[in-house]
């Protein structure tokens, strides 16, 4: 269980102590969904109702997007044997965005990696190291350019390639944060924070006008942080191999798969945090889902790509985001857009570098 708790859960611990003199605290809620602990916090009269609506929306998303639930939309698509199938708005947006970010990251992100994720046992928690022969066979199925999407007059349709299946675990929580952001806006919550297992969204600033303080977990110590982010109206999403793994013969195998090898990515990174302003993602960039979805796709992809390719991608400027990378040789790399919003942890054993 502990292994699966997302990062950045420190967020709410820090947020908890914020109510000023005489002001009332935020409405708060916690739930377990999408295989992770989720925390909600919302100020104002509508806070309580907004959190109730957010929770219901997340349960609905889980029912649509889970591939371990036989009756989910994703399971129906996975079982359709390559036939065109009607899909709802959420799945449509996720498929569209997933394909966009797969192409943008040179296939480091690919939702058709599903059969490989399953072969390692991450779908059922019955872990094993697959044989090379099995991986070679399954890797032939990994190619999301074979997913077909079609908008027809009676709705949206999708078909996977023969034998393919999809796993939205790398973007579903980010999309859930986009959906909660929408609910907060509908309910007029101008100040709030959610943390969905390593996927943080902050709405506005704190009621006193100061930024939300979000802890970035130390990938090597779940009770510590590598630093604190000061955020307003933003998303911050963290991926790391420590979030889910098993050990066999003294070796650790984690859940983020390199689609090029079929093995857990060994890129020299322990953790990737992607930070972006709330409106960074644009539909005409091929992402109808939202900024949380973009950050979630990138956190997974850049973890696979490693330091050099991740920074090249950031430098390309094709998308608006910033990064905090933690390397396996003890460095914390912070891109310069975050320079005045990130505070390293006092007494930390990491060495900190600003990257431009």
Where on the chain is the footprint of Mg ion (CB under 5 A)? Answer: 170, 296, 299-300
Q: Give the whole-angstrom CA distance, residue 20 versus residue 172.
A: 35
Q: Which does 256 bind (CB under 5 to 8 A by kind): Mg ion, ligand AMP, none?
A: ligand AMP
How many Cβ atoms from other residues are within 10 Å of residue 237's Cβ?
33
Tokens of 348: 């930390």
Q: Which of 9, 10, 51, 257 binds ligand AMP (CB under 6 A)?
A: 257
How many Cβ atoms from other residues are within 10 Å of residue 114's Cβ?
24
Which residue's CB atom is positioned nearest to Mg ion?
Answer: 300
Residue span binding ligand AMP (CB under 6 A) among the ranges 12-20, 57-65, 88-96, 164-172: 164-172
Q: Give the whole-angstrom CA distance, residue 72 versus residue 76.
A: 6
Q: Give the whole-angstrom CA distance, residue 181 versus residue 191.
A: 11
Closest CB to ligand AMP among residues 61, 189: 61
> Residue 302: what are its φ and ψ, rounded to 5°?
-70, -25
Residues 35-74 that bind ligand AMP (CB under 6 A): none
Q: Which does 77 bind (CB under 5 to 8 A by kind): Mg ion, ligand AMP, none?
A: none
Report if residue 167 touches ligand AMP, rule: CB under 6 A: yes
Closest CB to ligand AMP among residues 296, 322: 296
Q: Specify whether the backbone of 248 is left (phi greater than 0), alpha (psi in -120 to 50) or beta.
A: beta
3-class DSSP state of 322: strand
Q: Which does 158 bind (CB under 5 to 8 A by kind): ligand AMP, Mg ion, none?
A: none
Closest CB to ligand AMP among residues 24, 79: 79
Q: Which does 85 bind (CB under 5 to 8 A by kind): Mg ion, ligand AMP, none?
A: none
Closest CB to Mg ion among residues 44, 264: 264
Q: Which of 97, 100, 118, 239 binds ligand AMP (CB under 6 A)?
A: 239
Q: Which of 73, 90, 218, 296 binds ligand AMP (CB under 6 A)?
A: 296
Report if residue 299 touches ligand AMP, rule: CB under 6 A: yes
What does the DSSP 8-state code read for residue 218? E
How many Cβ atoms from other residues are within 10 Å of residue 315's Cβ?
11
Closest CB to Mg ion among residues 35, 134: 35
Residues 106-125 that bind ligand AMP (CB under 6 A): 109-111, 113, 117, 122
Shortest Å, Cβ 346 to ligand AMP = 28
3-class DSSP state of 141: coil
Q: Which does 257 bind (CB under 5 to 8 A by kind): Mg ion, ligand AMP, none?
A: ligand AMP
Q: Specify whether the CB–CB gap between 318 and 104 falls below 8 A.
A: yes
Shortest Å, Cβ 243 to ligand AMP = 6
Q: Give the whole-angstrom CA distance, residue 94 versus residue 248.
A: 34
Question: Of 90, 117, 91, 100, nearest to 35 (Cα)?
Answer: 117
3-class DSSP state of 172: helix
Q: Give the whole-angstrom CA distance, residue 33 versus residue 149.
A: 28
Q: Which does 313 bind (CB under 5 to 8 A by kind): Mg ion, ligand AMP, none?
A: none
Give, in order, the Cα–Cα distances in Å from 327 to each of 199, 217, 332.
20, 13, 7
Q: Which residues make up the interface to ligand AMP (CB under 6 A)? A: 109-111, 113, 117, 122, 167, 169-170, 239, 243, 255-257, 259, 296, 299-300, 304
């Amino acid at each position: 269980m502990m292994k699966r708790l997302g990062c950045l859960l420190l967020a709410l611990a820090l947020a908890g102590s914020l109510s000023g003199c005489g002001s009332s605290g935020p409405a708060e809620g916690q739930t377990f969904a999408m295989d992770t602990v989720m925390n909600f916090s919302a100020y104002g009269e509508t806070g309580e109702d907004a959190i109730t609506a957010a929770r219901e929306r997340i349960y609905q998303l889980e029912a649509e997007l889970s591939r371990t639930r036989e009756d989910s939309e994703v399971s129906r698509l996975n079982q359709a044997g390559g036939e065109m199938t009607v899909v709802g708005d959420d799945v449509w947006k996720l498929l569209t965005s997933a394909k966009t970010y797969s192409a943008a990251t040179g296939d480091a992100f690919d939702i058709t990696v599903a059969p490989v994720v399953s072969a390692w046992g991450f779908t059922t928690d019955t872990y094993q190291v697959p044989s090379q022969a099995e991986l070679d066979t399954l890797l032939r199925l990994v190619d999301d350019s074979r997913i077909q999407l079609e908008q027809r007059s009676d709705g949206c349709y999708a078909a996977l390639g023969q034998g393919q299946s999809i796993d939205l675990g790398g973007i579903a929580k980010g999309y859930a944060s986009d959906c909660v952001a929408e609910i907060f806006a509908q309910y007029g919550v101008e100040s709030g924070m959610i943390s969905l297992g390593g996927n943080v969204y902050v709405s506005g600033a704190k009621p006193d006008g100061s930024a939300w303080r979000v802890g970035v977990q130390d990938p090597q110590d779940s009770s510590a942080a590598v630093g604190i982010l000061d955020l307003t109206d933003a998303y911050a999403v963290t991926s790391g191999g420590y979030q889910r793994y098993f050990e066999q013969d003294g070796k650790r195998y984690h859940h983020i798969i390199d689609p090029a090898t079929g093995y857990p990515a060994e890129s020299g990174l322990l953790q990737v945090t992607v930070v972006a302003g709330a409106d960074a993602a644009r539909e005409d960039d091929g992402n109808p889902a939202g900024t949380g979805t973009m950050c979630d796709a990138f956190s997974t992809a850049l973890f696979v790509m490693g330091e050099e390719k991740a920074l090249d991608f950031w430098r390309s400027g094709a998308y608006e985001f910033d990064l905090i990378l933690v390397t396996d040789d003890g460095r914390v790399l912070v891109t310069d857009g975050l320079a005045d919003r990130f505070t390293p942890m006092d007494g930390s054993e990491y060495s900190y570098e600003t990257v431009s």
